Amino acid sequence: MAMKEHGKLTERQFAGIIANTLLGAGTLLLPRDITAVSGTGAWLSVLIGGFISIILLLLLINLGLRFPEETIMEYGMRLTNKWIGGLIGIAFCTYWLFITGIIVRIFSLMLVSSVLLKTPLEVIVIAMLLTVLYFSRSDLQIVGRVNEIYFVFVILPIMYALFLGLREINLIRVLPLTGGKGIMPILKGGLKSFFSFLGFEIVALFIPSLTTQKLAYNYSLKGIVTPLVAYIITMIVSVGVFGVEELQTLVWPTLELIKVTPFPGLLLERMEAVFIAFWVVAIFTTAANVYYASVVGFTQIFKLKEHKTLTLTLLPLAYLSAILPDNLHDVFEYVDIVTKFAAGLIITTIIIYFAAIFIKGRKGDERS
């Protein structure tokens, strides 16, 4: 298949894909969701969530490197059998398709409530999804390049805003650093924060296309640590600025954070529209990468020749999943369910495939 030629993706692009996929809707919700569970220890929860993701990511890469010519869809179907492997593949692709919609929905809700007050939600969703459609028709090389450019555009504004926010921190609100409620809330928060790290599993589709597969570990770590650091700083800054109690009353805590942060600049008075503009890029890369993964995954499961055939077919499903929740509250419930489902799916898959490798022989690389 044309998708998996070696050398289509450089390592930097690989790291860019991971980082861009992670940084997205998570930044919008993270501060309120996690502090609700683990209080001032929220940053620890994020750290734990991050570590779990890193371990899972490394395991996935380890799995992928055992089959340097195949993606997870293909070796999955070969390792187990057509049905189990296919089912796991379909589960992954469906869930990717679903979170494409959910991410776009979350962002559209924020747009409607902050800057585009009179625009219908559906129109915003459709505009974003059409852009995603245009993106997903590209070749993997172009996907890699786009992610490479956007890495800078996504991370720099976020970091800039956060460091300016650091000045507003009131230390009393940040302490105690451990949350003071024991270990359980922090662990629970860790699971909750997992949503913000979702998306890293799409790399399992791209490992065969890497230029230098040896560097996969190295660059995937670089890719995932960047958002981890950004998340932790987001947590500390938003807790430090608002405090745990006030955070619970804010719908879009990160947006409020930018509203209260004074920016040194004379030309513009309020910066949130500008930051929302950068956020569009962040959300776009997440939704687009995940949607692309879903399309490519389905293509490989059903052994189609070209992924372009599916791009338009799957888009209405993504749109449906974006429109499905009635309101913001519904969206958050879906997010919770998806997070648990995804965590379960990723862990089960890794266990099943490693077990299959163990049973079939250590290398698992013997092909007919």
Partner 1 sequence: MKKKTIRERINEILSNRTDNPGEKAKKEKLGQKLKENLKLIEDIIGFSDDVVVREFQLGGKTGIEAAIIFVDGLTDRQTINENILKPLLIEKFSKEEIPLKSDIIKFIKEKTITINELQIVDKLEKLINGILDGDTALLVDGYIDTFLLNTRGWDKRSISEPQSETVVRGPRDSFTENFRTNTALIRRRIKHPALRIKGISIGKYSRTNIAICYIEGLTNKYIVEEIKERISNIDIDNIQSSGTIEQLIEDNHFTPFPQLLSTERPDRVAAFLLEGRVAIIVDGTPFALIAPITISIFLQSAEDYYDRFIIGSFLRVIRLLAIIIAMTLPALYISVISFHPEMIPTQLALAFAGGRAVVPFPAYTEAFIITILMELLREASIRLPDPVGSTIGIVGALIVGEAAVSASIVSPFMVIVVATDTIASFAIPNYSTAIAFRLVKYPLMILATIFGLYGLVLGLIILSIHLAGLKSFGIPYLTPMAPSRLGDLQDTVLRPPIWSLRKRPEHLRTKNEKRFSSTGDDDGYERTR
Interface residues with partner 1 (CB under 8 A)? 10, 12-13, 111, 115-116, 119, 124, 127-128, 131, 134-135, 138-139, 141-142, 144-146, 148-150, 266-271, 273-274, 276-278, 280-281, 284
Which of 198, 245, 241 lies closest to 92, judged by CA?
Answer: 198
Nearer to partner 1, 288 or 357 (CB): 288
**Strand ranges (DSSP E) for 239-322?**
none
Nearer to partner 1, 111 or 335 (CB): 111
Kindly state the smallest distance separating residue 134's Cβ from partner 1, in Å.
6
Nearer to partner 1, 119 or 313 (CB): 119
Nearer to partner 1, 225 or 274 (CB): 274
Kindly state the smallest distance separating residue 241's Cβ from partner 1, in Å.
21
**What is the amino acid identity at position 299?**
T
Kindly state the smallest distance separating residue 297's Cβ from partner 1, in Å.
21
Cα 144 from Cα 122, distance rounded (Å) = 29
Rounded to 5°, angle at Cα 291 from 46 and 208: 85
Cα 301 from Cα 89, distance rounded (Å) = 7
Query: DSSP assignment, residue 170?
Result: -
Q: Dihedral, CA atoms, 233, 234, 235, 239, nearest 10 degrees?
A: 110
Kindly state the smallest distance separating residue 207's Cβ from partner 1, in Å.
18
Kindly state the smallest distance separating residue 270's Cβ from partner 1, in Å.
5
Q: What is the DSSP string of 8-66?
A: SB-HHHHHHHHHHHHSSHHHHHHHHHHHHHHGGGHHHHHHHHHHHHHHHHHHHHHHHHT
Backbone angles phi, psi at 190, to 5 degrees: -60, -45
Cα 182 from Cα 128, distance rounded (Å) = 42
Q: How many CB atoms lie within 10 A of CB 242?
A: 23
Kindly state the smallest distance separating residue 23's Cβ from partner 1, in Å.
15
Classified as helix, coil or strand, 210 is strand
Nearer to partner 1, 144 or 240 (CB): 144
Query: Residue with structure tokens 């492997």?
Result: 85
Kindly state the smallest distance separating residue 206's Cβ from partner 1, in Å.
15
Kindly state the smallest distance separating residue 342's Cβ from partner 1, in Å.
26
Query: Residue with structure tokens 């049973």?
Result: 359
Which of 293, 309, 303, 289 lies closest to 74, judged by CA?
Answer: 303
Classified as helix, coil or strand, 262 is coil
Nearer to partner 1, 129 or 230 (CB): 129
Nearer to partner 1, 20 or 40 (CB): 20
Nearer to partner 1, 151 or 194 (CB): 151
Nearer to partner 1, 59 or 281 (CB): 281
Kindly state the smallest distance separating residue 271's Cβ from partner 1, in Å.
8
CB 88 within 8 A of CB 76: yes
